[in-house]
């Protein structure tokens, strides 16, 4: 592309990423589990919420600035933790973290990232959030927490909904691996992705940087695959959350909350924030969309902890919808991944600009000037999920 100014919404990035990113990695980002019903509902249910247009309101002095966990943010949006981000674009986590830093919003690094905690700290030299999966090897978890502390991470995002892996048909059929296995099918696909290949040849970061060389017995790709298959911990419980919170000692965000009772457990566990999340529709297919679950969780815990939401956010209008139903902020995953795959760091920065502009203009046309003014009265039909 000659100019990112010609990219005007997230769907433009998605089309470019589909052309530039190898199929297995594009599909990894752009898919859900089983029938993908929940994955699709995350986006389509947001579109059911209609705005109430207002006129003759002074909207000259608007701002979409907010705070997330006490941190000033250009808008109430954070970059979500996403695995294999460095396979959408070479050094992808570093580039996305730099984009978030430049724009003024939080970046969250996944445990299953290609670039390591230390990579992000060295390149951004500013605090970021780190997302933790609970593994059976508790000594490895302790070491990850200590590494996040040493990197000056400002919050720990503990994901609770991956005790077992949801079946993701596309990943299975594609033979997902990192780096891609040199099969004829993969080599033919890579031959059609010269941009991706040229960028990937410039880096040596091609596998899980937080794991290889750090976890016991994991020194190469073959040992990594065995370790990963055995490590996700089905015994995870609220006692483990308490132990992790104590070990961490800082601000903690609990991610994967879809039920009001679990939200109350999270509050009781001392969560500084929770994320209403169904893992982007990649875990329990048939679960409700996150926007459908949000009002019940807000009703149960509003005011006791900050509430964020992810899943289906593709525009500033979607951010507005979530805020109107009580979220304090949102996290974006696929939106920034499409932009990263399409155009690297510049793509992510443009993605954030687009979302900010859409939020600002839509808020203005609803007659609102500040994020704190956004309530259910922005929407024509806010009660459609109250009886869900």
Residue 156 in any domain: the answer is: yes
Q: Is residue 253 part of a domain?
A: yes
- Write the DSSP assignment of 235-248 as a string of letters: T--HHHHHHHHHHH
Determine the structural domain holding residue 263 and report its residue range. Answer: 4-49+71-359
What does the H/E/C string look like for 48-89? CCCECCCCCCCCCCCCCCEEECCEEECCCEEECCCCCHHHCC
Q: How many domains does the chain have?
A: 1
Q: Is residue 221 part of a domain?
A: yes
Residue 376 lies in a domain: no
Bridge-based pairing state of the strands 329-332 and 306-309: parallel
Residue 367 lies in a domain: no
pLDDT at 1: 46
Question: Does a structural domain hold residue 54?
Answer: no
Tokens representing residue 387 in the block: 């009886």
Report if residue 249 sits inside a domain: yes
Angstrom distance (rounded) from CA 14 to CA 353: 16
25: in domain: yes
Which residue in 369, 179, 184, 156 sits closest to 270, CA to CA?
A: 156
Residues of the chain with pLDDT under 50: 1
Please give the pLDDT value at position 134: 92
CATH of residue 147: 3.20.20.70
pLDDT of the residue at 222: 55
Give the pLDDT score at 226.
67
Catalytic residue flag (residue 61): no
How far are the Cα atoms of 26, 101, 113 from residue 92, in angstroms, in the given order?
13, 14, 9
The residue annotated as part of the active site, out of 61, 169, 265, 279, is 279
User: By the 8 A CB rule, do 338 and 308 touch?
Assistant: no
């Amino acid at each position: 592309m000659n100019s990112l100014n010609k990219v005007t919404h997230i769907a433009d990035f998605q089309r470019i990423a589909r052309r530039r990113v190898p199929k297995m990695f594009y599909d990894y980002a752009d898919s859900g589990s089983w029938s993908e019903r929940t994955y699709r509902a995350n986006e389509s249910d947001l579109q059911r919420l209609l705005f109430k247009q207002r006129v003759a309101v002074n909207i000259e002095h608007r701002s979409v600035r907010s705070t997330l966990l006490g941190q000033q943010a250009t808008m109430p949006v954070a970059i979500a933790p996403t695995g294999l981000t460095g396979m959408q674009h070479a050094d992808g986590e570093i580039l996305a973290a730099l984009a978030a830093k430049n724009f003024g919003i939080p970046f969250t690094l996944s445990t299953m990232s290609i670039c390591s905690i230390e990579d992000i700290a060295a390149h951004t030299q500013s605090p970021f959030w780190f997302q933790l999966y609970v593994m059976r090897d508790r000594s490895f978890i302790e070491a990850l927490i200590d590494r996040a502390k040493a990197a000056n991470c400002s919050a720990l995002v503990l994901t609770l909904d991956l005790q077992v892996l949801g079946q993701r048909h596309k990943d299975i059929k594609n033979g997902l691996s990192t780096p891609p296995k040199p099969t004829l099918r993969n080599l033919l696909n890579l031959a059609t992705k010269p941009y991706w290949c040229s960028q990937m040849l410039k880096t040596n970061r091609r596998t899980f940087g937080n794991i290889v060389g750090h976890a016991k017995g994991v020194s190469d790709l073959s040992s990594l695959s065995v370790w990963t298959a055995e490590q996700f911990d089905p015994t995870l419980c609220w006692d483990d959350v308490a132990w992790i919170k104590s070990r961490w000692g800082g601000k903690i965000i609990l991610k994967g909350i879809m039920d009001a009772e679990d939200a109350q457990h999270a509050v009781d566990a001392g969560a500084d924030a929770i994320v209403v999340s169904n893992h982007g529709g990649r875990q329990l297919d048939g679960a409700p969309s996150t926007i459908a679950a949000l009002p019940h969780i807000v009703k149960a815990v509003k005011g006791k902890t900050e509430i964020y939401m992810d899943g289906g956010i593709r525009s500033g209008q979607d951010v507005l919808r979530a805020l109107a139903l009580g979220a304090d902020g949102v996290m974006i995953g696929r939106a920034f991944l499409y932009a990263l795959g399409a155009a690297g760091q510049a793509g992510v920065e443009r993605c954030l600009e687009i979302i900010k502009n859409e939020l600002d203009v839509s808020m203005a046309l609803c007659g609102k000037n500040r994020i704190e003014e956004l309530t259910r009265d922005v929407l024509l039909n806010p009660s459609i999920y109250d009886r869900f």
